[in-house]
Amino acid sequence: MPNIVPFRAVRPTRDKVSLIAARSYQSYTQAEREARLDNNPFSFLHIVNPGYKYHKEISGQERFKLVKNRYQEFREDGIFIKEEKPCYYVYRIINRDGEMFTGIIAAASVEDYEKNTIKRHEDTIAYRENTFKDYLKIVGFNAEPVLLTHADDSILSEIIAKVTKTRAEYEFTTTFRDTHYLWKVNDADNVEKIKAQYAGISKMYIADGHHRSASSYLLAQDLKEQNKKHNGTEAYNYFMSFIIPESDLRIHEFNRLVRDLNNLSKEEFLIQLDAVFRIENRGLEYHKPKEKHHFSMYLDGEFYSLHLRKSAYKFTDALSKLDAQILYATVLEPILGISDLRNDNRIDYSEGKNGMTYVKGVVDSGEFKVGFGMLPVSVEEMKQISEEGLTMPPKSTYIQPKLRSGVTIYEF
């Protein structure tokens, strides 16, 4: 029974929201970041990149303290306002491809995360967890919701449908050509209905934001120990989440790019692949797999299709059936010698939305020697991995929607 509650968001004034909202810092090129920082004094990038003001790279706790300062300046200048009473927020994104994502921004309980009522499917790195925990503790806010998903619920859908027929608090389109809408829900009747309906959902799944949720849990443990009057209702007992039904979730694959063939010739590499895959040379014919356990490969100016030989590979659990795991277990580790998918600089990843055309381009450029494509993970596969207590290989999923930072902010 997830405890999903309304909260008092800090958010931009209506006239500034389109200027403030920003994609994740890492998603911008350096030139894009500099253009926004130079030309838009309201961009949330000024808060998360406070050193730009001094033309200096700043890191660690010094940066965290300056982030807090920039945030407080935005608050003091009236650019951000704090909600007078707790709200749920219905949020909708219509992206440039016409896909629509609608869900509710709310506060999810760290206790549910601890008890695995909110289930996870990715490993987290302790260093990153603790670094972000320290960041949250110093700055005192979080501006990036964790993306949670659950089975479709007709009552929640009905509530959302009624809310979205009213005038939105925010409606803005970004230069990325995504249109964003936000509606406040603070009337007592709908608030109680939403809270009760979430409480009746047996399981939720983290779709995106495993490190953010883990860091929020660690922060709660720290602040709980420091607070002699802790009663469980404090803001640090929750983390901001964007909760959407499974039918609104879009999962794309990550294609794999490898810089060399581990001292193998092209012919030697293909012979080793042949032990596990049926290989067909498709020449210049653009190839993308159409079935699970089928892969595309681009090597030395040609496309190949790879079909897993079932006699050469054994399925033992949900993880073993995952295409990203199959590629790792049959090719990346045993043939190409890549065991650490997170830290080996011989491997890189490309969002599946870029397609094998992108893979072809970077291999043809000489930056990489070979590229692999696969089908995306399904929602059912993701859920089964979580149910079995397993974790996917890194970069197994590229999940949409992606929210903008700075539209709703959760203070501790």
Residues 368-394 have pLDDT tens digits of 999 999 999 999 999 999 999 999 998
pLDDT in tens, 111-160: 999 999 999 998 888 899 999 999 999 999 999 999 999 999 999 999 99
pLDDT in the model for residue 185: 98
The residue type found at 308 is L
Give the mean model confidence (pLDDT) for residues 9-15: 97
- Nearest CA to 326 among 371, 288, 264, 372? 372
The answer to whether residue 285 scores a pLDDT higher than 90 is yes
Give the mean model confidence (pLDDT) for residues 158-173: 98
pLDDT in the model for residue 409: 98
Arithmetic mean of pLDDT over the chain: 95
Please count the other Cβ atoms lying within 10 Å of the Cβ belonging to residue 79.
17
10's tokens: 């800090």
pLDDT in the model for residue 306: 98
The answer to whether residue 84 scores a pLDDT higher than 90 is yes
Residue 27's pLDDT band (cuts 50, 70, 90): confident
Against a cut of 0.85, is the pTM above it? yes
pLDDT in the model for residue 1: 78
pLDDT in the model for residue 55: 86
Helix/strand/coil for 199: helix
pLDDT in the model for residue 124: 84
Please count the other Cβ atoms lying within 10 Å of the Cβ belonging to residue 65.
13
Residue 106's pLDDT band (cuts 50, 70, 90): very high
Q: Which ranges of 168-322 does DSSP label H, i.e. alpha helix? A: 188-199, 210-226, 266-274
pLDDT in the model for residue 374: 96
Give the mean model confidence (pLDDT) for residues 211-240: 96
The answer to whether residue 358 scores a pLDDT higher than 90 is yes
pLDDT in the model for residue 354: 87
Q: How far apart are CA 251 and CA 351, in angstroms?
A: 11
Residue 366's pLDDT band (cuts 50, 70, 90): very high
Task: Delimit the domains of the chain by residue range.
Answer: 4-251+400-411, 254-396
Residue 53's pLDDT band (cuts 50, 70, 90): confident
Give the mean model confidence (pLDDT) for residues 182-189: 97
Q: What percent of the chain has pLDDT over 90?
A: 89
Beta-bridge partner residues of 278 = 307
pLDDT in the model for residue 56: 87
Q: Is 254-396 CATH 3.30.1760? A: yes
